[in-house]
Amino acid sequence: MALRFEKTQSRIYPAYLSVGGYSIALAPEGVTALKRHLQVDEDSFFEALLAQVGINHYLKEMIANAIAGENDKSSLAKRVREELATL
């Protein structure tokens, strides 16, 4: 299941976190909060991602499954952080 950030043209929700075929809208405050975790280790980054975006059990489980499904978590963390940095 793919996990990626996508930039939008909306001021209300300037980005989405896409998990598989599902997109989670992110408010500007959410993007800013996540950017504070760009420099932490990958486990802490993923924990922050789950805490910030996983606003309910279903979303947390979906995001956690996408992370767990990746063979190379370091590459996933690097790619997702790079996407987040451009938002």
Q: What is the pLDDT along the chain (87 residues), one digit of tens a residue?
A: 789 999 999 989 999 999 988 999 999 999 999 999 999 999 999 999 999 998 889 999 999 999 999 999 999 999 999 999 999
Cβ-based burial of 21 (10 A; exposed 0-12, middle 13-18, buried ≥19): exposed
**How confident is the model at residue 54, as a pLDDT?**
85
**How confident is the model at residue 55, as a pLDDT?**
85
**How confident is the model at residue 1, as a pLDDT?**
73
Q: How far apart are the first and last CA of the chain?
A: 22
Domains of the chain, residue spans: 3-85
Euclidean distance between CA atoms 74 and 9, whole angstroms: 29
